[in-house]
Amino acid sequence: MKRIAVITTGGDAPGMNAAIRAVVRSGISAGVEVFGVEEGYTGLIKNQFVEMKSTSVSGIINRGGTILRTVRAKAFHEKNNRQIAYAFLKARRIDGIVVIGGDGSREGMYTITKESLIPSAFIPASIDNDVYGTDYTVGFDTAVNTGLDAIDRIRDTAASHERIFVVEVMGREHGFLALEIGLTGGAEAILIPEFKDDVNLLKLCKFLRAGINRGKNSSIVVMAEGAGSAAKMAPEMEKIIGMEVRYSVLGYIQRGGTPTAFTRKLGLTYGYEAVKTLLKLKKGQSKMVGMNGSKLSIAEVSKLIGKERKVNKEMYNMNKVFAT
Ligand code: F6P
């Protein structure tokens, strides 16, 4: 391989820049030219390639977001647009790509390799941690810590005013983020789409009321956006429980921000390993780097596509024990 391209697609996540830095510098050190594609898969269709030098990635290790920018590229779902992208990749003599993104980005990458035969390596990066085949995505730890910081602040008000707070966090249709924030933030209840049966207003209010009766003066409920709406739930809870219930939707503050040490190290390690892996791939091959516990894993993307990562039920049950 002589020329590779790096792309960030889908939602941005902290640590994407650390991963870009690792890809660029590992590529250069291995003797290949590295190009950055701006604006995700849209940039492939629009021929937005920039040559990356070592200095192009200076001073970005600590920055959230992605210097290459990103787009949720609907246009890429159309085959004729993808053919345009492949023509640009061919014209630029790109013989390998590294894609940094979430689940949907991996599917896009797999399609590129299947249709164009250009080998590809995938770096999972998403605040949602919902990519099958890895225990950790780049950005998740940072988003957890951002959420945790918010919970700690909200708890001050909850305790001072003797209130119940429902805090809604992101995570799309999964509860990984909510579960991690809820557990480490000491939430009295965690509502996630994976355990929909527990998202029951009467049951929840009865449980919280029992806690108050035991002497708790406030409670925090962490709710995944995929489990419902905190804005709708809080007033209904107030009527049932007979004490003040407020809500807070954390929203996009969880997406940005300075990456934690864990997130940076993950981005750097994945970037380094992705280049090492990519340079050994043959036409039509597609692999993903990830973590299996504390061990690095390299897997065939074809074996991961279409599979769903499951939340840790034990962790969910553990929080119930702590909340009693
Ligand atoms: O995938 C990351 C994420 O922030 C999800 O948690 C959230 O549901 C979604 O992206 C929001 O998407 P958008 O950036 O397109 O509004």
Whether residues 52 and 111 share a domain: the answer is yes
Tell me which residue of 168, 192, 173, 155 sits closest to 252, measured CA to CA: 168
With a 6 A CB cut-off, is 127 part of the ligand 1 pocket? yes
Q: Which residues belong to the active site?
A: 128
Whether residues 247 and 128 share a domain: the answer is no
Specify the ligand 1 atom closest to the Cα of 72: 15
With a 6 A CB cut-off, is 128 part of the ligand 1 pocket? yes
Determine, yes or no, domain membership for 314.
no
Residue to mutate (ligand 1; options 128, 131, 168, 252; most atoms within 8 A of CB): 128
The answer to pTM > 0.75 is yes
pLDDT at residue 324 in the model = 86
Structural domain range at position 151: 142-256
pLDDT above 70 coverage of the chain, percent: 100
Whether residues 187 and 87 share a domain: the answer is no
- What is the distance in A from the centroid of ligand 1 to the CA of 233? 21
Determine, yes or no, domain membership for 319.
no
pLDDT at residue 218 in the model = 95
Using DSSP's 3-state secondary structure scheme, residue 190 falls into strand
Tell me which residue of 235, 219, 249 sits closest to 158, measured CA to CA: 219
- What is the distance in A from the centroid of ligand 1 to the CA of 301? 23
Residue to mutate (ligand 1; options 70, 72, 107, 127; most atoms within 8 A of CB): 127
Which residues have C-beta within 8 Å of that of residue 38, sequence separation ≥ 6? 48, 49, 50, 68, 69
Contact of 59 with 307, CB cutoff 8 Å? no
Count helices and strands in the chain by DSSP H and E runs:
10, 11
Whether residues 65 and 17 share a domain: the answer is yes
Determine how β-strand 3-8 pairs with β-strand 96-101.
Answer: parallel
Q: Supply the CATH number for residue 180's domain.
A: 3.40.50.460
- What is the distance in A from the centroid of ligand 1 to the CA of 11? 6
pLDDT at residue 94 in the model = 98
pLDDT at residue 91 in the model = 98
Alpha helices (H) in the chain, listed in sequence order: 16-29, 40-45, 79-91, 103-116, 140-161, 176-184, 201-213, 230-241, 261-278, 313-322
Determine, yes or no, domain membership for 87.
yes
Pseudo-torsion of CA 140, 321, 173, 199, nearest 10°? Answer: -150
Whether residues 184 and 295 share a domain: the answer is no
Tell me which residue of 54, 256, 234, 221 sits closest to 145, measured CA to CA: 256
Whether residues 201 and 276 share a domain: the answer is no
Determine, yes or no, domain membership for 184.
yes
Instruction: Compute the distance between CA of residue 94 and CA of residue 75 in angstroms, rounded to an integer.
Output: 21
How many other β-carbons are positioned within 10 Å of the β-carbon of residue 215?
Answer: 6
Structurally, the chain folds into a number of domains equal to 2
The 10s digit of each residue's pLDDT in 143-201 is 999 999 999 999 999 999 999 999 999 999 999 999 999 999 999 999 999 999 999 99
Whether residues 217 and 292 share a domain: the answer is no
With a 6 A CB cut-off, is 171 part of the ligand 1 pocket? yes
Sites in the chain below the pLDDT cut of 70: none
With a 6 A CB cut-off, is 172 part of the ligand 1 pocket? yes
Whether residues 161 and 104 share a domain: the answer is no
